[in-house]
Every structure is written in structure tokens, then in C-alpha cells.
Amino acid sequence: METIIRKDIHNSGIPAVCQSCEARHKGVCGALSPEQLQRLSKHTSKSVHEPNTDLSTEAATAGRYANILSGVVKLTKMSRDGRQQIVGLQFAPDFMGRPFAQNTDVEAVASTNVRLCSFPVSVLEELLEETPAMERRINQQTMAELDEARDWLFALGRKSAQEKVASFILLIATHADPERVVDQALVIELPLKRADIADFLGLTIETVSRQITNLRKAEVLEVIDRYRMRIPNLIVLRKAASAGNG
């Protein structure tokens, strides 16, 4: 296996920085040829961002797009009077940016530690012009985000507080990489603190806390510490999340 990887490095001409990058497999870079990857990688830079760093205005002023290498990014909307709603979450290897379109009014904020691989807008748009497949990948991500947004519209409009919380935990259990599987049980790490979960689900902190307690008492999950929990049985969790997503 190792020899194969070494061979890749030499034969295919894939840049070292891209070698083990998830974005090259499942992300937008997967549409690029080795030569194009080389070209792009000349302008990429990796960066790490602490929780609660604003990534959107940072990227906008620098004129850069980015791939998420690791961590979770929350997309938030806030009104004048302080009400806040998280309208989406992004995971690796999602692409952040809107080529050929004006930006939206959501703010992208690091929720956990976030590692990014960023590159200038101009370089990416040039690659997009010559590589329709890459643009198509971005579109597919946009459509996936739209589908997810609509799933949450159902959740926010029609689910009870308990179902909402269970749905969120299910989302993390299925989206974020399965941290560990012990005895067929799943141990997950929540990328959001209670206040953020509340903002995501259209609830208050207190209600989120109470519902987690209820799910614990119903033995749907076990609380390890405030960010980690153990899911003994995904099917039971899925049932608690019930309507809509399955």
C-alpha cells in the first residue's frame, strides 16, 4: 500500500500537499488533472482557525475560496434585535465560496478548530472556466446543501423539541466521521455547544439541555462529557428523530 502511494507521488505528479487530501477524493479538487492540481497548489495556503473565528469576511477581504480540511463550520444568520439562527453546517471536504455569484448574507464561523486550504478567487475561476466537471462538483454540493436545508425546514416547522434534538445528534452521528465504534455502539463528539445547538434547532438552551436529559433517561444515548456521547443503538436514535429524515 505504501509503495503504491509512493508510486503515485512520482508517476502521477500529484502535489505533495494534495496527496492525502480529502478534497481531492470527495471534494471539488477531484475534478482536476495532476497538471491543474500542480497549478492550483502553487497558490494554496493552509491555515488553522480557532473556534468562533469569522471565516467569511476573512475570506472575502482576502479574495479567497477554501476547502475545509477538518473541523466544522457553522453558517449563521442574525437579525438586528439579536435573534440568531444557524442555517447550515459544513464539514470536510466541503468547498467554501460562491464562484461567479454574489455572496449571501450568512456568516461562516468556525465551530471547532478548523483547518482550511485556501486559494485566490482568480485562480479557481480560471480553473473552473476550463474544467466544467469542477463546476459541476460545486453545483452538486450546492444541491446537497439545498436538500439539507429543506430537511431542516421540515424539522424546524414540524418536529417536537425532542425530535429536533434527536435529529441533530443523528446528523452528527452520520455526518461527522464515526469517532469510534465500541461494541456496535457509536461514540460521537458534538461540534457545537448547547447554545449553538439551540440556535440550530430554533430552541432555547434550557430546552436543549432538558431534551438531552430526556433522551438519556429514555436510554437513547449516554452522556460521556458535555461534548461527547455514546449511542448504543442508531436505530433507536433514528426512531427518536422520527418523521422526515426517515
Partner DNA sequence: CGTTTTTTTGAGCAGGATCAAGCAGCGTGG
Partner DNA sequence: CCACGCTGCTTGATCCTGCTCAAAAAAACG
Task: Give me the half-sphere count of Cα atoms (radius 13 Å) on the Cβ side of residue 136.
Answer: 7
162 interacts with, out of DNA, a second copy, none, CB within 5 to 8 A per kind: DNA
Return the residues of window 137-156 that contact a second copy according to CB under 8 A.
138-140, 142-143, 145-147, 149-154, 156
String marking each residue 166-205 x if it binds a second copy according to CB under 8 A? ---------------------------------x-xx---
Choose among 115, 74, 242, 91: nearest CA to 178: 91
Question: In the numeric block, which cell numbers belong to residue 232?
Answer: 448504543
String marking each residue 34-73 x if it binds a second copy according to CB under 8 A? ----------------------------------------
Q: Which stretch binds a second copy (CB under 8 A): 54-62, 80-88, 179-187, 215-223?
A: 80-88
Question: In the numeric block, which cell numbers belong to residue 13?
Answer: 505528479
String marking each residue 130-169 x if it binds DNA according to CB under 7 A? ------------------------------xxx-------
Helix (H, G, I), strand (E, B) or coil at 217: helix
128/192 with CB nearer DNA? 192
Helix (H, G, I), strand (E, B) or coil at 178: coil
Rounded distance between C-alpha atoms, residue 83 and residue 85, angstroms: 7
Question: In the numeric block, which cell numbers belong to residue 134?
Answer: 469542477
Q: With contact defined as beta carbons under 8 Å apart, do 75 and 106 qualify?
A: yes
Could you list the residues that contact DNA (CB under 7 A)?
160-162, 193-195, 202-210, 212-213, 223, 225-226
